[in-house]
Amino acid sequence: MQRFEIVGGNRLKGTIEIDGAKNSALPIMAATILLEGETVLKNVPDLADVRQMQALLARLGVKTHRDENGAMHIRVEDEMNTHAEYELVSKMRASVCVMGPLLAKRRKAQVSMPGGCAIGSRPIDMHVAGLQAFGADFELVNGDVLLRAKKLRGSEIFLGGPFGSSVTATANVMMAGVLAGGRTVIAAAACEPEIVDLADFLNACGARITGQGTPQITIDGVETLKGTEHRVVPDRIEAGTYMIAAAITNGDLELQGARLEHMQAFVDRLRRIGVIVERYEKGVTVSSARRLEAIEVTTQPYPGFPTDLQAQLTALLCLADGNSIVTEKIFPDRFLHIGELARMGAHVRKEGPTVIIEGVKRLVGAQVMASDLRASAALVLAGLVAKGTTCVHRAYHIDRGYQRIEEKLAGVGASIRRLQE
């Protein structure tokens, strides 16, 4: 097991290149189950979750490999297996994205209940109900979701849930709908840029999808889909994390490839805190004032403030003047980082789905434990500015969503290194 050792106090300055979006690459990789011929994906990040999806696809008869330029080549070689087993699925929630493609192309999908980060309950009822609307039969077999259908029929499907639209359910239903007979209309669809990227990819393969990026997506089914070449969109969550790195260290960073249009709610909050965010020809520049203002923020489905940046923003607000309030409306239990930030001197308290943060003058280095992907990033950010040395244990969490984070941060002036426990 590995850990990050960080000596805080360095002001970050320089350029960081933003990688492709993990939350876009994973469903697009799953969608290749639907295709005939070879697909070439560019800008796919080299992450633990991506490698996990490659292993799952290999078990399902889909061959993947990277060429010398880093592009991923994908081709279906065997369509016999329809079982995504517990051994692989339990390690990554995005594995559930193979459910829709398997059902649409192979008429059967047996998928173990998914795993992933410990950030609260994330049921897949909406996925199953959406796929049943196409005419699939469902049963639960030894902890696996089993769906069967001789033929999928287009349908009108509502995907609104208690905490908003489900991104992965929208992806699953959309991937099933492209090969279903007739027209499918998804109401209360997720609007995230990653859903738009998946739809654009499928359309390039021959699908007929309209309305992506809006709450209503319309799909006219087709008979077959062909492989294509596609470039994955930049990762807005990675970009947001490095924007906070600039702000928390009073730094000055250029983030190449970052797309401001994908982060408007987040950027609005940063500007209210006192962070200077500007667009330039290659991406976004970020710097900050020496005094940071307290704010209130509530996570919401896109285009609202993203839950995947809640922990990182909380770390920044620990150093703002006054009292800040952060309310989590997507995953109300996503606050495992709070206790670890308190170990570093933060004044934070949780009240239900809300955290109240009383800004302090400084944080201090400590031994802290990463509990999930985004909490890990928050602890690294806090370590960048804390007095003394911070050790973030369980580095494998952060490797699920950030490619070589220690190299990128060290390249712009951070004192950070990866060590073996």
Q: Residues with catalytic annotation? A: 117
| Side-chain half-sphere exposure of 187, counting CA atoms within 13 A | 5
CA distance 405 to 312: 14
Helix (H, G, I), strand (E, B) or coil at 219: strand
Query: Residue 146: enclosing H or E segment and its boundaries?
Result: strand 144-148
Contact 179, 140 (CB under 8 A): no
Residue 292 amino acid letter: L
Torsion over CA: 100, 102, 106, 107 (sign):
negative
Hey, which residues does 15 pair with through a beta bridge?
254
CA distance 155 to 171: 15
Rounded (5°) CA angle 192-115-127: 50
Helix (H, G, I), strand (E, B) or coil at 329: coil
Strand 208-210 relative to strand 216-220, pairing = antiparallel
CA distance 290 to 9: 14
Count CB atoms within 10 A of the CB of residue 32. Answer: 25
Cβ within 8 Å of residue 207, ≥6 positions away? 178, 199, 219, 222, 225
Q: Where are the beta strands (DSSP E) in 8-57?
A: 13-17, 38-42
CA distance 12 to 26: 31
Contact 148, 284 (CB under 8 A): no
CA distance 355 to 314: 9
